Structure 1
Amino acid sequence: MSTTILSQTSKISETVLINGKTLYYEVYGEGKPLFLLHGYTQSSKSWKSYIKDYEKEYEVYLIDLTGHGKSEPFKEDLSIKAVSEDLNSLIKHLQLEKIKAIGFSFGGDVLYQLALINPSIIESMITIGAVGTWTINDFPEYLKAFTFENRNNFPWLKTSHDGDEHIKAMMYQFKNYTIKLSDKELQSIQPEVLIMIGDDDEGMDLEEVIRVKKNLPKSDLWILPNVSHGAHEGENKNNFILKSKAFLSKK
């Protein structure tokens, strides 16, 4: 089955020049645009097995976010806001007026920034293991483990990116991963948001999750017991698909 999924043919796959750098994306299916955004050091390949679940109802966009996958390596210091600005420019390039979106981890943080940059572009969004505020400074052990020298400990790196230049740049830029949403910024976010968190996600502070839920005008919180960072994966996948489709179909 996995071979069939991975060999599925996109109706569009191209690299485009956006804000002076190349970004890669693929499109599948028919319907309203649905963007699926990957985590840091992943690529759009991490969403490939989900295409069949959404493509009959949505036009599914898989994006290699700035510095990842088939998009060109980082040229500048990592900025979540800058990555979101690149995504916003890509959406404008694609001439899309509204999107729905799901973002995992880094992809979720990017979505919160996109909602601030372009308040009307997102109809509804799901964030997994992300609440828009996170800093590597709170997790020095991550920085110590997540290095280019240790790349073989993270098997997805080799299959997700075009060579060591990409991997080296991402690992180096991890030290700049920091983003903060104020209460006022959260209160200004317009789309309806489903916040999905595993209660064993060591990277998520539950007090911060509560602050975000309290300040987001239209939000639902889904905390999964005994689940870590990739709360949409593995044995949770089927339940995630059902709940995500029900949430995204509202309006």
Structure 2
Amino acid sequence: MSYFIYKEKACYYEEYGNGTPLLLLHGNTASSKMFQDAIEPLATDFKVVLLDFLGHGKSERVDELAADLWFDEALQVIALLEQKHYKNVNLIGSSGGAIVAINVALERPDLVHKVIADSFEGKAPLKELVENIAEERRLSKQDGNGKAFYRAMHGEDWEGVVDNDTAAILRHAKNIGSFYHKPLSKLHIPILFTGCKEDEYAKLIDPNFYEKTFASLIKEIGSGELHIFEGGRHPAMLGCKEEFIMKAKDFLLN
């Protein structure tokens, strides 16, 4: 097993294939295991790099996750890229990982080639989701499918990982608010925004949530592409896997 060091903590990563590095960045309460079915089709064209953010998956545990969670995870990605001497990398971030990917591109554009930001909230936490997250997480920990997912992602200490994540999200919403440290107008990396039409989380807010949110982000950035998949579930990378991978390769390779 391979690890890189971030703030004297060991973070797990894996690599598959050859070519330009393509980092897959997992979402909240998940780990790199969420991408297992995407490795083979992507590794035909890229060196696929998976990592578990600090406190998740096979990475070292911490008593408390940073309140500025998605920025701190971006710094973890940058630490990996620097330690591996990787440049001109592609990033696919799914759900919370999309926020991380954008932060990496904003902070270190010299390291990034293209970004795909999949199935996420936009610029700041949504009030509707933050207000309900504690109860939603409580129910998910009691649900058989939810528990099976968390255990598969993290192992037997999954409940502590989920609780840590919930606490960090609540602290972020209360004390920080914005996902990014720099204006999106400073983002000059080619970016593709993706989501599924039937995403169960987005639909609770607005049936056209992703179209509206991502169009607004593209306007602020001044460039970018948008693709919404029909059907599917959250996130698009898993809910619309075959179509997503085809679209991702088209965007990243051309």
* TM-score in same-fold range (> 0.5): yes
Task: Give secondary structure in 2 for the equivalent of 1:133.
Answer: coil
Whether 1:25 and 2:25 are equivalent positions in the alignment is no
Aligned equivalents of 1:150, 1:244: Cα separation in 2: 30
Give the match for residue 134 of structure 2: 143
The worse-fitting range, judged by mean Cα deviation, of 51-60 and 125-134 is 125-134
Give the match for residue 101 of structure 2: 111
**AA partner of residue 109 (structure 2):** P
Q: How many residues align?
A: 235
TM-score (structure 2 length as normaliser): 0.83
Aligned equivalents of 2:57, 2:120: Cα separation in 1: 21
**AA partner of residue 71 (structure 2):** K
Bigger share in helix: 2
Give the match for residue 235 of structure 2: 230
* Structure 1 residue corresponding to 2:61, chosen from 44, 69, 73: 73
Report the aligned-residue RMSD: 2.2
* Structure 2 residue corresponding to 1:39, chosen from 7, 10, 27: 27
What pairs with 1:1-251 in structure 2 (closer than 5 Å)? Answer: 13-74=1-62, 75-79=64-68, 80-130=70-120, 132-135=122-125, 137-139=127-129, 140-147=131-138, 150-153=140-143, 154=146, 155-164=148-157, 165-178=160-173, 180=178, 185-201=183-199, 202-203=201-202, 205-206=209-210, 207-234=212-239, 236-250=240-254
Aligned residues of 2:91 and 2:112 also touching (Cα < 8 A) = yes
| Identical counterparts, % of pairs | 24
Aligned equivalents of 2:97, 2:236: Cα separation in 1: 14
Measured against aligned partners, the alpha-carbon deviations of 1:166-205 in whole angstroms (never above 9, x if no partner) come to: 34323433323545268x7111112111100223433474
TM-score (structure 1 length as normaliser): 0.84
Question: Cα distance, 1:66 vs. partner?
Answer: 2.4
Question: Cα distance, 1:76 vs. partner?
Answer: 3.9
Give the match for residue 7 of structure 1: none
- In the superposition, relative to structure 1, how do residues 231 and 100 fare at CA in structure 2: closer, same or farther (>3 Å)? same
Aligned residues of 2:65 and 2:164 also touching (Cα < 8 A) = no
Gaps of 5+ in 2: none
Aligned equivalents of 2:84, 2:250: Cα separation in 1: 26
Task: Give secondary structure in 1 for the equivalent of 2:98.
Answer: helix
Aligned residues of 2:122 and 2:214 also touching (Cα < 8 A) = no
After TM superposition, the runs of 4+ consecutive aligned structure 1 residues lying more than 6 A away are: none
Aligned equivalents of 1:102, 1:237: Cα separation in 2: 13
**AA partner of residue 245 (structure 1):** K
Aligned equivalents of 1:233, 1:54: Cα separation in 2: 14
Question: Cα distance, 1:54 vs. partner?
Answer: 1.2
Measured against aligned partners, the alpha-carbon deviations of 1:144-171 in whole angstroms (never above 9, x if no partner) come to: 1213x75242121011114324343234
The worse-fitting range, judged by mean Cα deviation, of 119-128 and 170-179 is 170-179
Bigger share in strand: 1
Aligned equivalents of 2:105, 2:30: Cα separation in 1: 22
